[in-house]
Structure 1
Amino acid sequence: MDIKNNILETIGNTPLIRLNKITKDLPGTILAKVDYFNPGNSIKDRMALKMVEVAEKEGKIKPGGTIIECTSGNTGMGLALAAVVKGYKCIFTTTDKQSKEKMDILKAVGAEVIVCPTNVEPDDPRSYYSVAQRLAREIPNSYHFNQYDNLANRLAHYETTGPEIWRQTDGKITHLVCTAGTGGTVTGTAQFLKEQNPDIQVWAIDVYGSLLTKFFRTGVVDMNEVHPYISEGFGEDFVPKNYDMSVIDHFEQVTDKDGAVMARRLAKEEGLFCGYSAGSCIQGLVQLKDRLKPDDMVVCIFHDHGSRYVGKIYNDQWMLERGFLDVKSFRDIVNGRGSRQKLITLSPEQTVSDAVALMRKYDIEHIPVMRGEEILGSISEGGLFQKVFSDPDIKHAKLEKVLEPAFPVADFMTPVEKLSTLINKENGAVLSKDEAGNYHIVTKYDVIQAMGK
């Protein structure tokens, strides 16, 4: 029988999967080490367990103690799993840029989560680093694991991730590509692989707004490099002690947008529902494709699962609001609003007063007038203003007496540029039916906003 004694025994031995579509134009064989197959759905399970084991061995945490850590979510999940099995309590500090899903998952496995501001210096008492340190001082029998400077982090990857990749590629790996955050994964894995073959190239992928790339190139910690970024799980505003820059050959930066868009492509084109760092990892590799040769074997680390990001990079509205998706059609504009709300309409028997009340309630300027599915005309704020100004008593009139021309109806996939030609001075909106047969409206302001992205 093959029976695991507890969930921790399922950590590691994750699959190496060939990429076929996204990388079809890249030289060599491109493989993904897909670590969302770990029980906590991320590569951080490896180092979390190792940090706990080392802390126990060194007497830094005792039975019934409290695990304290600052985490973007994934390390916390790994520590929480260890805590469940081993009987510890958990308190995690995280930043307000992390996805709600990550926080909810940590709470689901019994952890307490404290959210701290992102845009403060690491030594600011409000930062998630400082809050974790303070809690560790105040709470008896607690230990701050500090994944950034805890060398058990990189040791976990030296002992597991590196050997697995070497074995799975039969020692033929030529390149390791990995996003750089705490430094544990890229450094520990690289240390093992370089011991086997010093010619293996290690490429670390960073994000604009992180200081790691400049530090790698110059040895200077330049805080002028640091600015807010949206990418999660990698990039830093300081240099963690887990780094050994001597085993890294190159740092490459990618944008928030490119990493997010590539993550969505991985899901749609490869069936790999991964997190932000996986998209950024592949984007970085694509930017470096001219350095590859046909006989190269590249292993890319895919850290975590896309379920952590369903409210962000896999949410059309979130992507559109940040300009990460190209707005191309009527449908894109509607999707950018989030949930497809029911179209506000009026019937011809209603009065001008009814129309004014609806416009005020929903802060809208254009309302179609319909009887069932039949479009009879429209009412606009500008048109009503002119009528009410000339005849104050008209507010009691039925709408059928003051109808303006009906809004044109376009296909749901009509390009934004075409919509702009359908809207004019006399006609401030366009209607369309979605896939379910429900009407939606796009106004001139929607088109202006979309074309400005």
Structure 2
Amino acid sequence: MDVYESALDLIGGTPLVRIRSAGAAAVYAKLEYLSVGGSAKDRIGRRMIEQAEKDGLLGPGGTVVEATSGNTGVGLALVAAEKGYRTVLVVSDRVSREKVDTLRAFGAEVVVKPSNRPREHPDHPMRFAAHLAETTPGGWLANQYDNPANPEAHYLTTGPEIWRQTHGRVTHLVSCIGTGGTISGAGRYLKEVSGSAVQVIGADPASSVYAGGDGRPYFIEAAGHFVHPDTAQDVWPTSYQRDVVDRVVPVADRQALDTLRQLARTQGLLVGGSSGTALAAAHQVAAGAGADAVVVVVLPDSGRQYLSKYFNDAWMLGLGFLDGDASGARVADAVTEDSRTSPLPYLTTRTTVGEALAALRARAGAGADAVLPAGPCPTSSDRRPMAPELTGSVTLAALESALHDGTAAPSDPLADHLEPPLLAFGYGEPAEDAVGRLAGHTHSTAVVLRDGCAEALITSSALRAALPTRH
């Protein structure tokens, strides 16, 4: 057995394992979750801290500060624990419960901030972390998005490991893009050592801007690039070196989730959401490559960090990522044909009361009780709003009453007159369960979600009509 002096010596050195794929090309997964801290971010945690020490930015008694979706925080926290530093990490409220618990287990202090904030807002995790670092004596901001030690860690370790493990036969590298450090560092090394023969392919949530999406929210943690509509300037991380990447493959959330769940059940590999995204892209790459191709896909972290989400059938069903039991009455069976073929009207907090009234009056005859969902993010008619964006609702009766008694004006922003959010049901949930939950709610109308997006509005009467008649 090998013997090591500390946990730091157990960072990296992860194996490759063959993945069964429909294509003729060989697909190998680099299991980064077998690193001591459970992810590819262990590598950058060590590199960034040790570089900060060399540069005199972090000294005895210092505090490591970072905004993180979890994995980089773990990497930093375990290195800081070994070296005796305090760690303060800022996460958004969309980070999985397991990740927050893991960060605290390593002794980190965790600050949770709202996810739906523009980059310039003082409560945006990155902005708040920067403020903490500035105001904490001995504080040092890791700044993974713009720290050159991030891609350098993968250039010095991940890339060489892949080249050695494949005996120089690797032809394609597939990796998710988050901060961009993994794909930039490992990709640059492999291009250099192969004389640019290795193709570097990014995998990205379909709505992320890296893949050419509109930047709206998605459900895959630790991947992609979300852009809040109120962000003044979309700043891409300098850790992402775009000249290294040959192309980016967009992957829908459902495809990523189906892929990671299938991998656990067929090959015994329990991986996270970004791994599902990367593997789905790798399957596409392998399908188009020749029999001599060797595709290496980086699987960044473990599925144990997402047991309450991606491997939880109730979570998946509630967001419409599972189709449910078609042998029984489902919420989907109560959605009318009109709702399926026409876009769901969606108001935003920027909508005026007058505009909302016009939409509600047009909707009044559509069998949805003249209720519409509302949220903070603007949308276009060809884009379905995501579940996290639905933060309130409005009714025709309430707005007309407010206009009549003078408490609202047509030019008022809708944000000042929102009612509580509507209930939301996944497309495949049992209709009977939905009827029971809706019975005790303020509104008799609910939102139907499919793949995390608002698909339609549904009424309690439509749900009851979908139930089988009992004799």
TM-score by structure 1 length? 0.70
Other structure's SS at 2:248 match: strand
- DSSP 3-state at the match of 1:14: coil
Cα 1:315/1:446, change in 2 over 3 Å: farther
- Pairwise CA distance, 1:240: 0.4
Matched, 1:61 2:58: yes
- CA–CA distance in 2 between the matches of 1:60 and 1:38? 26
Contact 2:278 2:298 in 1 (8 A): yes
Residue equivalent to 2:249: 252
Structure 1 partner of 2:418: none
Superposed counterparts of 1:47-58, under 5 Å: 47-58=44-55
| Higher Cα radius of gyration | 1
- Superimposed CA distance per residue, residues 143-169 of structure 1 (whole angstroms, 9 cap, x where no aligned partner): 000000001000000000000000000
CA contact (8 A) 1:40 1:78 kept: yes
Equivalences for residues 195-344 of structure 1 within 5 A? 195-197=192-194, 198-214=196-212, 225-237=214-226, 238-328=235-325
Q: Where do 1:373-452 residues align within 5 Å?
A: 445=463, 448=466
Q: Structure 1's 329 and 28: CA in aligned 2 closer, same or farther, altered over 3 A?
A: same
1:121 to 101, 118, 121: 118
Distance 1:419 1:81, change over 3 A: closer
The code of the aligned residue for 2:280 comes to Q
Shift of 1:288: 3.8
Question: Residue 12 of structure 1 aligns with which residue?
Answer: 12
Structure-1 separation of matches of 2:75 and 2:30: 18
* Separation (CA, whole Å) in 2 of partners of 1:16 and 1:447: 53
> Residue type of the partner of 1:278?
S
2:292 alignment partner, SS class = coil
Quick one: distance in 2 between partners of 1:2 and 1:328?
50
- Alpha-carbon displacement from aligned partner over 1:227-281 (angstroms, at most 9, x marks no partner): 1111101101341001211111001111111111111011001110001111111
**Equivalent in the alignment of 2:422:** none
- 1:45 matched residue in structure 2: 42
How far the C-alpha of 1:329 sits from its partner, in A, is 5.1
Correspondence 1:104 to 2:101: yes
Q: Is the 8 A contact 2:41 2:75 kept in 1?
A: yes
1:103 counterpart SS class: helix
SS, match of residue 114 in structure 1: strand
Normalised TM-score (structure 2)? 0.67
**Residues 329, 466 of structure 2: 8 Å contact kept:** no
Partner of 1:133: 130
* More displaced 10-residue stretch of structure 1: 205-214 or 54-63: 205-214
Separation in structure 2 between the aligned mates of residue 41 and residue 449 of structure 1, nearest angstrom: 46
Check if 1:177 corresponds to 2:174.
Answer: yes
Q: Distance in 1 between matches of 2:159 and 2:50?
A: 19
Q: 1:448 and 1:133, CA in 2 relative to 1: closer, same or farther beyond 3 A?
A: farther
Give the secondary-structure state (helix, strand or coil) at the position aligned to 2:89: strand
Report how far residue 16 of structure 1 moved: 0.4
* 1:225 match: secondary structure: coil
CA distance in 2, matches of 1:57, 1:332: 64
Report if the CA contact (8 A) 1:97-1:230 is conserved.
no
Report deviation, 1:62.
Answer: 0.7
User: Taking structure 1 as reference, are residues 298 and 448 closer, same or farther at Cα in structure 2, changes over 3 Å only?
Assistant: farther
In the alignment, the residues of structure 2 paired with residue 251 and residue 86 of structure 1 have an alpha-carbon distance, to the nearest angstrom, of 38
CA distance in 1, matches of 2:326, 2:305: 28
Q: Secondary structure at the match of 1:55?
A: helix
* CA spacing shift, 1:45–1:331, aligned 2, 3 Å: farther
**CA offset at residue 206 of structure 1?**
0.8
Amino acid corresponding to residue 234 of structure 1 in structure 2: A
Offset of residue 419 of structure 1:
11
Contact 1:123-1:129 at 8 Å conserved across structures: no
RMSD of aligned alpha carbons: 2.4
Q: Which region of structure 1 is more displaced relative to structure 2, 290-299 or 158-167?
A: 290-299
Q: Tell me, what secondary structure is at the counterpart of 2:51?
A: helix
For structure 1, the residue ranges without an aligned partner over 5 or more in a row are: 215-223, 334-415, 421-443
